[in-house]
Chain A
Amino acid sequence: MFNNKVYHKIDALSGSIATLRAEGVKYGEVAEVESRAGTSLAQVIKLDGPNVTLQIFAGARGVDTAAKVRFLGETMKIPFSQDLLGRAFTGAGVPRDGGPAITENPSPIGQPSVNPARRIMPHRMVKTNIPMIDLFNSLVVSQKLPIFARAGEPYNELLARIALQADSDVIIIGGMGLKYDEYLKFRSTLDKSGALAKTVMFVHTAADPTVECMLVPDVSLAVAEKFALEGKDVLVLLTDMTSFADAMKEIAITMEQIPSNRGYPGDLYSQLASRYEKAVDFDGAGSITILAVTTMPGDDVTHPVPDNTGYITEGQFYLRNGRIEPFGSLSRLKQQVNKGNPNDPDNKTRKDHRTIMDAMIKLYAQYKETIEKQSMGFRMSDWDQKLLKYGALFEKEMMDLSVNIDLIDALDLGWKILAECFDRGEVGIPSKMTDEFWPKN
């Protein structure tokens, strides 16, 4: 039942939303809107008797009430082929780099959820050579992890660096509300390292229509899913998910939905989750790993976007003052890969990994308390002095983001720092571990 009737009368226009009377329209189908403003795709987001509500991708600005609306009878699709690699597109799939359009093999976006029974346990570590990640919060294939940062933090640099150093087959970058120069910087960084050839970019810049911003995660993840089903390990880098949520807010308010918290729609959690949950390690095919920057307005983690995100993702990295914060930062899946069992074929670490990880963080927490006491002018006890020395060393040799060392070296470094500052009875590590690993001299 293909409906190719053309409609010429739009009854209402508001924001990027248009309403018209039409028949035989499917919920979710795509339409083409041709007007003075040009031609744009649109999607059906509500059916109410004869009234059809459309969300126009390019926005409704300049769309006239006599615009031509043609329903295409199918949902939003994105072409898929190996030719996508090395290319950059808009959120609606239009080339952004001046290259030819790709039309092959169109596949629907926003497909159903993966059956949990067909997932496998995450068990492969993604090495980044950043000790704050590898040692303290290991990244794992199929993990979904946000990077919480305040505006102005070097999150895109961190994202780019992880992209370069992680050994994924395909990298997909989904940019939402990016400044144009940030997009160019991503491109040039990846180009210089040669990683561009395995990268696909879907970028919405701050100047583009809002609706396209909302499409970026779906389009990026639909393409990622295709590559993953072909057996590829795909790393999806999204930045910035707060822009995505704000775009949703804008649409929801235009649709006169009842807002739940600070104007965001009530289904914010479900909407974010349906994207993040695309992260998967397929039983018998490839995988999708998602790292997504979420900027925190006002550096407030209880803001609805980072808050809902935190409940969805498998941990989070906090980027603060250009460093990954050890407190709050958490990779929930690290337990899967930091056992250090030498019989495990995927093992990339050593059996003292967890011990060092826990002990160093506990001591660093005590160091922070000591700093507080010191700033209030209290006398420092011997123990405080030890902690102060430790904290300074830890920040310099472990936390600095420019530290680029292998995980095993990072473990050795950890023991060295502990031994430099403490006696072995003071670090809260079971004796059988200190017997084996405590530096001898």
Chain B
Amino acid sequence: MTTTGKIVTVNGNMITVAFDGAVAQNEVGYAVLGGKRLMAEIVRVRGRRCDMQVFEATTDLMVDDTVEFTGELLAAELGPGMLAQVYDGLQNPLAELAKEAAKISKDAGYFLQRGMYLPGLPRDRKWDFHPTAKVGERVSAGEAVGWVSEGIFDNKTMPGHKIMVPFALKGVYTIKSLAPAGDYTVTEDIATLTDANGNDVKMQMMQRWPVKVPIKCFTERLEPTETLETTVRTIDTFFPVAVGGTYCIPGPFGAGKTVLSQTTARYSKVDIVISAACGERAGEVVETLKEFPEITDPKTGQSLMKRTIIICNTSSMPVASREASVYTAVTLAEYFRQQGLNVLVLADSTSRWAQAMRELSGRLEEIPGEEAFPAYLESRIAAFYERAGRVRLKDGSTGSVTIGGTVSPAGGNFDEPVTQATLKVVGGFHGLSRARSDARRYPAIDPLDSWSHYNSVIEQAKVEKARAILRKGNEVGQMMKVVGEEGTSLADFTTYLKAEFLDAVYLQQNAFSESDATTPVERQKVMFDVVEKALLTEYAISEKPAMRKFFMDLQQTFIDWNDKKFRSDEFNAIQTTLVKKIEEAAHV
């Protein structure tokens, strides 16, 4: 028999409930409001009372209203049907919600209706199941028994969508029966498994998994050594991200965090991208929503949307489901990792998630830590990023979850708690700088402050040389502000120009230009060779104005080069010109 309770207090999105029977921490319950049921989660239990955060507006709830507990933790539905979906933080499909709401009235269809929940996986859709396991075979959690084709995962372009033994099953099972090839819905039984004691378990294509618990059906975790190709030059070359690694992008507003994560979502060489718009603008989600279906994924030749899932809990949506949304995103990612795929999770922005925790903590009247954030902020952030990683699965293949989180520090000051807690646990730091964005130097990743522990696509020694010139050039630039151009030696002045050149032609990349927005690694290598030549050459120019003119001309040619299609005749011609220009100006 399920536990029920009565509301005692209502304060914003927090309710206190007096209950009979047993409840669990993080258990889900529903507050009954007339014909509606409002979903809520237990966040604290004290004696016979528990505090619950409601995932909806609490307007109209009254003292003594009933709460029904479910006995389950907040869980995501995992199985075929998630790709190309746009979910809210609780995995409700938004397009379906709109259709459902429109049944109330035309105007109602525009809004998110309170208490309306729909299953994350379509129940009526049939999938073509292809069994791969055999009856009598011994299997355990996470091992595949067959596959279905879903979008690009059709066993041709990409491997099929694997149907796996539910992650929650412990121990080894024998397959007693397995459905023949055919069309099934996600809730139909497709196999019967027998455990060591002879008990039968029926399995379906869909399984549920509590979002706040990591999925651990793998044999070992691997070191993230391979570079994840984002095709953003400054990232891949100077501040690389690893497959299965973590990185963060802190930056003040307007510095280009969102454009950068959208670019990464588009062009990164991964199998699946899960984009969690957490407490951010709805308009940006709409952009992704409308543009992605139109963009072709170079890897599969199909629409980019087919490899994308959007978890969208925008800033005006209830704050409690914002807190849940990043967990939902990473749970979905782990599911696909179990299929042997490389998944990229982009959480924009983790600060909003942290603020959701702060709001919650404030309502619970917990003793506040720094800037009123709860004391457990750091451990929560660490635990979230720890869900990233590259793993070896039971069948020997590998899969990975890479997590990139944007951080929106108050006032753009990186000394605040969320940025600091994040920096402790990530492998890459792409700090965006206001000075760069003001000067329209995009992407505004600060080339001096940022860092990464992962491997670059360019030889490390070469990158270090370029970095040294950047640093020296910046010092000279600072110095020149004090002593002026005339007080600077020609050698220093040249270093300054070299650093500016590197910045202008390589670090800066125009996300809105068709050819410049994405630079695959192969092209980066060709480009970097020319840049390196320009940087390391000693020039036989003896006057500063002439030196400036030379670099401006070189820069102009290089920018034209960036505009050309890779390996086209024009591209090759400009490459030759560039090299010639550098060699002609060099000391012999």
Indicate if the CB atoms of B411 and A269 lie closer than 8 Å: no
In B61-115, the 8 Å CB interface with A consists of 61-63, 86, 94-95, 97-98, 101, 107, 109-114
Indicate if the CB atoms of A428 and B286 lie closer than 8 Å: no
Cα-based distance from A330 to B413 in the complex (angstroms)? 20
Indicate if the CB atoms of B111 and A114 lie closer than 8 Å: yes
Contact of A25 among B62, B283, B481 (CB under 8 A): B62
Cα-based distance from A381 to B544 in the complex (angstroms)? 10
A270-B315, A277-B314, A382-B545 known; A49+B8 contact, CB < 8 A: yes
Indicate if the CB atoms of A27 and B555 lie closer than 8 Å: no
Indicate if the CB atoms of B110 and A47 lie closer than 8 Å: no
- Kindly name the residue among A229, A258, A278, A316 whose own CB sees the greatest number of chain B CB atoms within 10 A: A258
A116-B312, A382-B545 known; A365+B285 contact, CB < 8 A: no
Indicate if the CB atoms of A302 and B411 lie closer than 8 Å: yes
Contact of A27 among B59, B315, B482 (CB under 8 A): B59
B70 to A: closest C-beta gap in Å? 23
- The reply on A39 being an interface residue by CB < 8 A is no
- The reply on B11 being an interface residue by CB < 8 A is yes
Interface string of A105-128 (1 = CB under 8 A from B): 000000111111111111000000
- The reply on A297 being an interface residue by CB < 8 A is no
A354 to B: closest C-beta gap in Å? 7
Indicate if the CB atoms of A28 and B312 lie closer than 8 Å: no
Indicate if the CB atoms of B279 and A316 lie closer than 8 Å: no
A113-B317, A266-B358, A361-B440 known; A335+B290 contact, CB < 8 A: no
Cα-based distance from A377 to B336 in the complex (angstroms)? 62
A266-B362, A270-B319, A274-B315 known; A26+B410 contact, CB < 8 A: no
Chain A residues, CB < 8 A from B358: 260, 266
Chain B residues, CB < 8 A from A358: 440
Indicate if the CB atoms of A117 and B289 lie closer than 8 Å: yes
Cα-based distance from A46 to B10 in the complex (angstroms)? 6
- The reply on B490 being an interface residue by CB < 8 A is no
Indicate if the CB atoms of A119 and B481 lie closer than 8 Å: no
A47-B63, A310-B253, A428-B556 known; A267+B319 contact, CB < 8 A: yes
Cα-based distance from A308 to B434 in the complex (angstroms)? 16
Chain B residues, CB < 8 A from A426: 552
- The reply on A212 being an interface residue by CB < 8 A is no
Q: How large is the interface on B (under 10, 10 to 19, 20 to 34, 35 or more residues)?
A: 35 or more
Indicate if the CB atoms of B112 and A333 lie closer than 8 Å: no
Cα-based distance from A23 to B62 in the complex (angstroms)? 9
Contact of A142 among B59, B283, B315, B410 (CB under 8 A): B283
Chain A residues, CB < 8 A from B544: 381
Chain A residues, CB < 8 A from B438: 327-328, 365
- The reply on B563 being an interface residue by CB < 8 A is yes
Contact of A49 among B9, B114, B439, B504 (CB under 8 A): B9
B8 to A: closest C-beta gap in Å? 6
- The reply on A36 being an interface residue by CB < 8 A is no
Indicate if the CB atoms of B62 and A116 lie closer than 8 Å: no
In B237-294, the 8 Å CB interface with A consists of 252-254, 258, 279, 281-283, 285-287, 289-291
Chain B residues, CB < 8 A from A121: 286-287, 290-291
Indicate if the CB atoms of A118 and B315 lie closer than 8 Å: no
Q: How large is the interface on A (under 10, 10 to 19, 20 to 34, 35 or more residues)?
A: 35 or more
- The reply on A75 being an interface residue by CB < 8 A is yes
Cα-based distance from A48 to B62 in the complex (angstroms)? 10
Cα-based distance from A95 to B334 in the complex (angstroms)? 57
Instruction: Closest B residue to A264 by CB, please name it.
Output: B372
Indicate if the CB atoms of A266 and B408 lie closer than 8 Å: no
Interface string of A36-70 (1 = CB under 8 A from B): 00000000001111100000000000000000000
Instruction: Closest B residue to A377 by CB, please name it.
Output: B484
Indicate if the CB atoms of B283 and A330 lie closer than 8 Å: no
Indicate if the CB atoms of B97 and A117 lie closer than 8 Å: yes
Contact of B113 among A112, A280, A328, A430 (CB under 8 A): A112
- The reply on A24 being an interface residue by CB < 8 A is yes
- The reply on B485 being an interface residue by CB < 8 A is yes
Indicate if the CB atoms of B484 and A119 lie closer than 8 Å: no
Indicate if the CB atoms of B94 and A116 lie closer than 8 Å: yes
Chain A residues, CB < 8 A from B559: 428, 430
Cα-based distance from A336 to B61 in the complex (angstroms)? 42
Chain A residues, CB < 8 A from B254: 310, 315-316, 328, 330, 332
A113-B317, A304-B410 known; A27+B440 contact, CB < 8 A: no
Indicate if the CB atoms of B10 and A27 lie closer than 8 Å: yes
In B335-371, the 8 Å CB interface with A consists of 349, 352, 355, 358-359, 362, 365, 368, 371
Instruction: Closest A residue to B61 by CB, please name it.
Output: A27
B351 to A: closest C-beta gap in Å? 8
A43 to B: closest C-beta gap in Å? 10
B511 to A: closest C-beta gap in Å? 9
Contact of A119 among B253, B282, B365, B486 (CB under 8 A): B282
Cα-based distance from A279 to B560 in the complex (angstroms)? 39
- The reply on B542 being an interface residue by CB < 8 A is no
Chain B residues, CB < 8 A from A381: 485, 544-545
Instruction: Closest A residue to B57 by CB, please name it.
Output: A112
A189 to B: closest C-beta gap in Å? 30
Cα-based distance from A25 to B258 in the complex (angstroms)? 43
In A334-393, the 8 Å CB interface with B consists of 335, 354, 358, 361-362, 365, 369, 372-373, 376, 378-379, 381-383
Contact of A75 among B60, B110, B253, B504 (CB under 8 A): B60
Indicate if the CB atoms of A120 and B281 lie closer than 8 Å: no
Indicate if the CB atoms of A365 and B440 lie closer than 8 Å: yes
Chain A residues, CB < 8 A from B548: 383
Contact of B282 among A50, A114, A143, A383 (CB under 8 A): A114
Indicate if the CB atoms of A307 and B107 lie closer than 8 Å: no
Indicate if the CB atoms of B109 and A118 lie closer than 8 Å: yes
Cα-based distance from A23 to B63 in the complex (angstroms)? 8
- Kindly name the residue among B8, B315, B371 whose own CB sees the greatest number of chain A CB atoms within 10 A: B315
Chain A residues, CB < 8 A from B285: 116
A425 to B: closest C-beta gap in Å? 6
- Kindly name the residue among A117, A274, A304 whose own CB sees the greatest number of chain B CB atoms within 10 A: A117
Chain B residues, CB < 8 A from A26: 59-62
A242 to B: closest C-beta gap in Å? 15
- The reply on B474 being an interface residue by CB < 8 A is no
Instruction: Closest A residue to B9 by CB, please name it.
Output: A48
Indicate if the CB atoms of B440 and A117 lie closer than 8 Å: no
A79 to B: closest C-beta gap in Å? 17
Chain B residues, CB < 8 A from A118: 98, 109-110
Cα-based distance from A379 to B545 in the complex (angstroms)? 14
Cα-based distance from A369 to B482 in the complex (angstroms)? 12
A75-B60, A310-B253 known; A277+B315 contact, CB < 8 A: yes
Chain A residues, CB < 8 A from B95: 117
Indicate if the CB atoms of B11 and A47 lie closer than 8 Å: yes
A135 to B: closest C-beta gap in Å? 14
A211 to B: closest C-beta gap in Å? 17
- The reply on B187 being an interface residue by CB < 8 A is no
In A288-337, the 8 Å CB interface with B consists of 301-302, 304, 307-308, 310-312, 314-316, 327-328, 330, 332-333, 335
Q: Which 3 residue pairs are nearest across A and B when measured between Cβ atoms?
A: A302-B411, A273-B315, A277-B316
Q: Chain B: residues with CB nearer than 8 A to chain A?
A: 7-12, 57-63, 86, 94-95, 97-98, 101, 107, 109-114, 252-254, 258, 279, 281-283, 285-287, 289-291, 312, 314-317, 319, 349, 352, 355, 358-359, 362, 365, 368, 371-372, 408, 410-413, 434, 438-440, 481-482, 484-486, 504, 512, 544-545, 548, 552-553, 555-556, 559-560, 563
28 residue pairs bridging A and B, Cβ less than 8 Å apart = A24-B62, A28-B58, A28-B59, A47-B62, A47-B63, A112-B57, A114-B110, A115-B97, A117-B97, A119-B286, A120-B290, A258-B362, A258-B368, A267-B359, A277-B281, A302-B413, A311-B253, A315-B254, A316-B253, A328-B438, A330-B254, A361-B440, A362-B440, A365-B439, A425-B553, A426-B552, A428-B559, A430-B560
In addition to A116-B86, A117-B97, A121-B290, 13 A-B residue pairs with Cβ atoms within 8 Å of each other are A27-B60, A47-B61, A115-B110, A270-B355, A273-B279, A274-B316, A276-B315, A358-B440, A369-B481, A373-B484, A428-B556, A428-B559, A430-B563
